[in-house]
Amino acid sequence: MNPNDEVISLTRALLRFDTINPPGDESLCMAFLADYLQQHGFSIHLQRFGERRFNLVARLAGRRAYDKPLAFTGHVDTVPLGNADWRFDAFAGEISDGRLYGRGASDMKAAIAAFIVACRQQHEAITSGSGVVLVLTGGEETGCDGARALINETRDYLPAVGALIVGEPTANYPVIGHKGALWLRCETRGKTAHGAMPELGINAIYLAAEAIGKIRYFEPGAPHPLMKQPTLNVGTISGGLNINSVPDRSWFDVDIRTAPNLRHEEIRQRLTTLMGDTVTVTTLVDLPSILSEPHNGWIRRVFERCAPLHDAPLQPRVVPYFTDASLLLEALGAPPCIILGPGEPAMAHQTDEYCAVDKLLQAVTLYGDLISDWGRRGAA
């Protein structure tokens, strides 16, 4: 099969699987990928981490066993479709005006297809070199649930690797890091009473509103040279059971995005103190930021490979969203890491999400070049 046809066909096949999270169901998609990779010589390990929830680790060994393999990672779960109508079927992989449409096209099934096809094309470079490891996860969109389960339950299937490529959407621009995420649930408790006699109760919603007012302009910490100002957002709020009762419970969720110069425990403590004793704080997600050294030899070679694809000289960049690398890096031996994928960053989580076909084809060649380089030189 023509390589261009192969990556488009594989991307469309992945888009046909409904892997929306929540509720989360990667079972059929992961089974398909496991079979596909096994047919191309990979040894595979499927890990179940919940009802119809799966991760997949696939390895293609190399003869140069004394060197560490190159690793790719990507997640197959996607966000919901949203309330707006789609012009294109979200699960058909339709192509129109050079764009491949579908939920997960940019974030990030196109990248998964691209690095799998690149591995198939570079089979000889991989097997004569130090090998390759593919870490495919579920549950990334809700806080890296799959990666966490993979690390906690089957760490032995995650070898030390020489470098990690995360296929999140960057329009094939190399990104050296991303912000950390600290998600907190803040709960208030009051005392219920009849809505006509509110003086007999304690309104938990009022307590939550007072707490939100206190933290609205809270600064998590000092700016970072690349990641700039850390951010805080109250994303959800809930309270009360019926209109004619004083609510005795309310909660709101806080999303804080951080940088390597900030400690999450310190931020949480400061925020808890500021809100006061009426608020109980629970951590929902705690993911560290990542940042690779831009002068690392392998990082510089990635930049050299990417440079011809962009009009302006490349600069060290970071992204505000988190990736599975937050958890996987330590488990994989803390290698240098680059975030690099064909998807359009602005298309992630959008209605009529798409990946430009030319970027997808470009990514296959780019990933293939990086695999070939690794086979010859490794991390040196």
Residues 271 and 281 sit within 8 Å (Cβ to Cβ): yes
User: Cα(177)–Cα(316) distance, rounded to whole angstroms?
Assistant: 9
Residues 327 and 62 sit within 8 Å (Cβ to Cβ): no
168 is catalytic: no
Angle between helix axes 3-15 and 357-377 (nearest 10 degrees) is: 110
* Residue from 26, 67, 140, 145 carrying the catalytic annotation: 140
Candidates 60, 76, 203, 185; CA nearest to 133 is 60
* Residue from 25, 26, 67, 77 carrying the catalytic annotation: 77
Residues 315 and 279 sit within 8 Å (Cβ to Cβ): no
Give the pair of three-digit tokens for residue 74: 């990507």
SS3 assignment, position 320: coil
140 is catalytic: yes
The bridge status of strand 53-60 relative to strand 99-101 is: unpaired
SS3 assignment, position 182: strand
User: Cα(1)–Cα(247) distance, rounded to whole angstroms?
Assistant: 63
Total residue length of the chain: 380
Residues 106 and 354 sit within 8 Å (Cβ to Cβ): yes
- Supply the DSSP string of 351-378, one letter for each residue: TT-EEEHHHHHHHHHHHHHHHHHHHHHT
User: Cα(102)–Cα(106) distance, rounded to whole angstroms?
Assistant: 8
Q: Which residues contact 31 (CB under 8 A, 6 or more apart)?
A: 46, 54
User: Cα(226)–Cα(317) distance, rounded to whole angstroms?
Assistant: 7
Q: Which residues participate in catalysis according to the annotation?
A: 77, 140
